[in-house]
């Protein structure tokens, strides 16, 4: 089995991804069994000034340190359970020390396989205002919708004032359900929870739309790679979808035995109203 490295940027989402990866291992391999996994985390506080100033290059440098430490710990590949961090990881620069799965690739592939045509996007303000998910969905013929400006502020506030500190409030849950309901009114047929802490708050039973849980989808995709159901990814940071040395599109996901990009789910797990289940 392959050794997974988890590049943590925000602690709650990284912890949920770690637990989900281990639980997926138990389900696939038997009680108490999972592939080796190592997590490295440089405190988010050290990167917040750079996020606020838009200095993504310095954030990439910080994240690169974590990837290098994961490589030294023996990891074969990495995942970063922080959607917003991928905005920095995508910057041009030296190859990261390990290949990694791109979280937007995993989520958008699952949306495509579920037949989604218009997906709402909930995440940090940095992510909702940026191109990461619109580009990933557009490549698959899917429209991306973000909440209006006022609702984006509410979504972002709950993330930074509550979820990143492990606080889950009924007020936050109600606000998110309201925002998702408005996305449904605009024609969305699913909502992508693309801040990895949001699944702590929004569960399928309270969401007005089917959910794409980026945290658990990434964990499942990582397990597929770790146990050999999917090959190692080829992405080592840099622009999303750029050509590799063989002239092929280099993507965060991988091609499985069926010729489709891996989605972190087995056949038989892909149907149902909650795309993360």
Q: Backbone phi, then psi, for 60, in 5-degree steps? A: -60, -40
**Nearest alpha carbon to residue 102 among 276, 267, 264:** 264
Distance CA 130, CA 84 (A): 9
CB atoms within 10 A of CB 30: 9
- In three-state secondary structure terms, 121 is strand
First to last CA, the chain: 24
Supply the pLDDT for residue 190: 98
Supply the pLDDT for residue 263: 34
Distance CA 207, CA 272 (A): 14
Supply the pLDDT for residue 245: 34
List per-residue pLDDT tens for the chain, 277 residues long.
999 999 999 999 999 999 999 999 999 999 999 999 999 999 999 999 999 999 999 999 999 999 999 999 999 999 999 999 999 999 999 999 999 999 999 999 999 999 999 999 999 999 999 999 999 999 999 999 999 999 999 999 999 999 999 999 999 999 999 999 999 999 999 999 999 999 999 999 999 999 999 999 999 999 999 999 999 999 999 987 543 333 333 444 443 333 333 333 333 233 333 444 3
Supply the pLDDT for residue 239: 87
Residues 6 or more apart from 71 whose CB is under 8 A from it?
5, 97, 98
Distance CA 39, CA 16 (A): 12
Tokens of 74: 């023996």
Supply the pLDDT for residue 72: 99
Distance CA 9, CA 15 (A): 10
Distance CA 53, CA 195 (A): 20
Beta strand ranges found along the chain (DSSP E)? 4-8, 37-41, 77-79, 118-122, 143-145, 190-193, 211-213
Give the CA distances from residue 236 to residues 15, 174, 240, 252, 259, in Å, rounded to whole numbers and listed in that order.
23, 39, 10, 9, 22
Distance CA 178, CA 171 (A): 11
Domain 114-212 has CATH 3.30.930.10: no
Distance CA 198, CA 194 (A): 7
Distance CA 171, CA 14 (A): 24
């Amino acid at each position: 089995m392959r050794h997974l490295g988890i590049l943590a940027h925000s602690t709650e989402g990284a912890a949920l991804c770690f637990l989900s990866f281990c639980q997926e291992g138990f389900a696939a391999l038997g009680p108490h069994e999972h592939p080796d996994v190592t997590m490295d985390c440089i405190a988010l506080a050290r990167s917040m000034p750079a996020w606020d100033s838009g200095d993504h290059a310095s954030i990439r440098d910080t994240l690169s340190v974590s990837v290098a430490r994961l490589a030294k710990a023996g990891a074969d590949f990495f995942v970063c359970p922080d959607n917003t961090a991928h905005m920095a990881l995508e910057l041009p620069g030296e190859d990261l020390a390990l290949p990694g799965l791109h979280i937007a690739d995993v989520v958008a592939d699952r949306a495509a396989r579920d037949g989604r045509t218009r997906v709402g996007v909930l995440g940090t303000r940095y992510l909702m205002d940026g191109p990461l998910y619109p580009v990933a969905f557009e490549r698959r013929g899917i429209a991306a919708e973000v909440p209006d400006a006022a609702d984006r502020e509410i979504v972002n506030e709950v993330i930074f004032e509550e979820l990143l500190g492990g606080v889950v409030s009924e007020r936050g849950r109600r606000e998110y359900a309201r925002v998702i309901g408005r996305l449904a009114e605009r024609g969305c047929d699913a909502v992508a929870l693309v801040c990895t802490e949001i699944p702590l708050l929004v569960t399928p039973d309270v969401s007005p739309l089917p959910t794409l849980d980026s945290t658990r989808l990434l964990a499942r995709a990582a397990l597929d790679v770790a146990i050999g159901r999917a090959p190692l990814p080829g992405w080592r940071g840099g622009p999303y979808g750029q050509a590799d040395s063989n002239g092929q599109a280099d993507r965060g996901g991988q091609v499985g035995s069926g010729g489709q990009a891996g989605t972190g789910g087995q056949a038989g797990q892909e149907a149902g109203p909650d795309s993360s289940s």
